[in-house]
Amino acid sequence: MNKQFLLASRPTGTPSSENFKLVEVPIPDLKEGEVLVRSLYISVDPYMRGRMNDYKSYVPPYSLNEPIAGGVVGEVIESKSSQFQTGEIVMGMYGWQTNGVVNGKDLQKINSDIAPISTALGVLGMPGLTAYFGLLDIANPQAGETVVVSGAAGAVGMIVGQIAKIKGARVIGIAGSEEKINYLKEELHFDEVINYKTTSDIKADLRNACPNGVDVYFDNVGGSISDAVLLLINQGARIPLCGQISLYNLEKVDIGPRMQPLLLINSALMQGFIVSNYMSRFHEALPQMAQWVAEGKIKYKETIVEGFENMPTAFLGLFSGENIGKQLVRVAD
């Protein structure tokens, strides 16, 4: 039998466990070309919140009463594809299920010699590639420039900061707990990290941390944190828009200070993106990321929740900031 979490209802505001339904269904027989994968690690990501709404976005909305789609690393249990052998470790997008029946064309092999297999969902997967292309392709930080990253202790943010350090930039993180801040400063050598939850004046903290202004703002969160950063942008600033997690659970369009005048007077660039825009260039990024990880220039962290039944809990924790680094659910050994 296969366990699945279905989207039972579309959340209004902050999702709750009520929006998800756990079901057991038989595993169908494999057709020619298909592979049966036993899930080992399942990813939960902030972008999934957007797909729970029924509106146009860069990916289609989830369907009600269907399994929630997303990245999974698993082991091949049975194969009717000539490309895959039993026992191989693969990555697919079949989502919140303990087992996936997937066409071999939609699976990628994972080389466990390079790094632990879970990294295919993190630093060597979508979050790492998101950091790589958003920072290097859109923002192209130069040595000596100031790079601010919000959501700095998240799966993307902590990679952004480390790549910016590799490029010689001064890196300021914004995160929401002392544990995160200590990790970013002590382990990842961010130059400064601001705790947005405890500060009494984030604008003043940012001014102090960025005496030469802000050249790059990698935005994972949006809202008032981003408003504060934008006040400090320099001429020619670049602002990759990667996420707006502070807004995802709001029930109506948020209002805030208009930022177009700041972009105008600073000849600044703001660019929304999604990692799939860069699919044709993944092959150039992944070896570089793997090399940086192997050299210890990029470290990573995962927050792992145990047990398939805890998928919704792990997902909801993203919005209260429970995770440091990539949030995963381990569903089998």
The binding site for a copy of itself (CB under 8 A) comprises 50, 56-58, 219, 222-223, 226, 235, 241-244, 247, 253-261, 263-274, 277
**Which residue, 99 or 246, is less far from a copy of itself as judged by CB?**
246
CB of 305 to a copy of itself, least distance (A): 27
CB neighbours of residue 265 within 10 Å: 10
> Cα 328 vs. chain centroid, distance in angstroms?
11
> Looking at beta carbons only, is 221 or 328 nearer to a copy of itself?
221
> How far apart (Å, rounded) are the C-alpha atoms in residues 212 and 290?
33
Gyration radius of the chain over CA positions: 20
Amino acid at 186: E
Q: Least distance (Å) from a copy of itself to the CB of residue 194?
A: 20
Question: Judged by CB, which is closer to a copy of itself: 1, or 255?
Answer: 255
Of 53, 58, 46, 61, the C-alpha closest to 272 is: 58
Q: Which is nearer to a copy of itself, 116 or 213 (CB)?
A: 213
Tokens of 75: 């082991």
Give the separation between CA 62 and CA 214, rounded to whole angstroms: 37
Among 197, 196, 146, 143, CA closest to 172 = 146
Dihedral (CA of 42, 43, 48, 51) sign: negative
State both tokens at 312: 């919704």
Give the containing element (helix H, strand E) for 192: strand 192-195
Q: Give the shortest CB-257-to-a copy of itself separation in angstroms.
A: 5
Joined together, the tokens standing for residue 293 give 């990880």
Nearer to a copy of itself, 8 or 278 (CB): 278
CB 114 within 8 A of CB 290: yes
Name the residue nearer to a copy of itself (CB basis): 15 or 312. 15
Nearer to a copy of itself, 262 or 314 (CB): 262
Q: Are 206 and 140 in contact (CB under 8 A)?
A: no
| Minimum distance of a copy of itself from residue 242's CB (angstroms) | 8
- In the complex, least distance from residue 250 CB atom to a copy of itself, rounded to whole angstroms: 10
DSSP assignment, residue 288?
H
Q: Which is nearer to a copy of itself, 59 or 332 (CB)?
A: 59
Q: State in angstroms the smallest separation of the CB of 248 from a copy of itself.
A: 9
Residue environment code for 219-237, b if the CB has 16+ CB neighbours within 10 A, otherwise e: bbbbbebbebbbebbbeeb
Q: Give me the least distance between CB of 122 and a copy of itself, in Å please.
A: 21
Closest CB 314 distance from a copy of itself, rounded Å: 23
